[in-house]
Amino acid sequence: MNISSDSLATELRRLWHEELFSTRIYPDFPFRPRGWRAVAFNRDLHGNARIPIADWKRLLDVLRTHSTDEVALLLTPYADLNGLDPPQPIVLPLAGDAVVSQFLDREVYFPEFFLSGESRSWAVRGDSDFSIVGGEDELMSVFIDVMGGASSVLERMKEEFGVGDCDEDREMRIYLESLLAINRP
């Protein structure tokens, strides 16, 4: 059966929005699987990379060793590659630097994107405010540990988003804690 790139992208979008990605990022949990954990990055602080390069590399190392995926699939509703909309999904090997290079390419910018593997055990989504890495608890626990542990990651997220201990920051503080599942029963 010959499936066009457009129909594959359409079907993948439908499947991912049913199974992986919530329709809202904030203040709701940004992923549909409720047992997942997540880490948020302030996309404005990291340029086209959307996530610090060191953290992209940590994530890819974790994915290569703790998931069954060999490639990441990238979908974006707004893609511009030298004035053209590239065929989607964009398939990126997890080995090497293909994923990071895709985001560092100055010719390509994705204002919004969705990235996941065929296992659908992890995902990354980005919009104009956030880049959020999420996944199954076991996988994310490893990623959070290599980032310095949950307390350290929470402090980093609070710093990136300018969240303090005052009452006016309470909602965002609770949201960031909920991503890490710090107070989840």
Domain of residue 75, residue span = 5-180
pTM of the full predicted structure? 0.91
| φ and ψ of 132, to 5 deg | -125, 125
In a domain, 69, yes or no: yes
What is the strand order of the sheet 113-116 is part of? 37-42, 130-135, 122-126, 113-116, 71-75, 90-93
Name residue 108's beta-bridge partners.
Answer: 81
The dihedral over CA atoms of 102, 100, 89, 36, expressed in degrees to the nearest 10, equals -150
In a domain, 30, yes or no: yes
Residue 162: inside a domain, yes or no?
yes
In a domain, 60, yes or no: yes
Query: Helix or strand or coil: residue 42?
Result: strand
pLDDT tens track of the chain, all 185 residues? 334 566 888 889 899 999 999 988 888 899 999 899 999 999 999 988 999 999 999 999 999 999 999 999 999 886 655 566 667 898 999 999 999 998 887 777 778 899 999 999 999 999 988 999 999 999 999 999 999 999 999 999 999 999 999 999 999 999 999 999 976 65
Q: What is the pLDDT of residues 113-123, one digit of tens each?
A: 999 999 999 99
* Residue 20 belongs to a domain: yes
Is position 185 within any domain? Answer: no
Is 114 in contact with 16 (CB distance < 8 Å)? yes
| Dihedral sign from CA coordinates of 91, 96, 100, 102 | negative
pLDDT in tens, 89-139: 989 999 999 999 988 877 777 788 999 999 999 999 999 889 999 999 999
Looking at the structure of the chain, the number of domains it has is 1
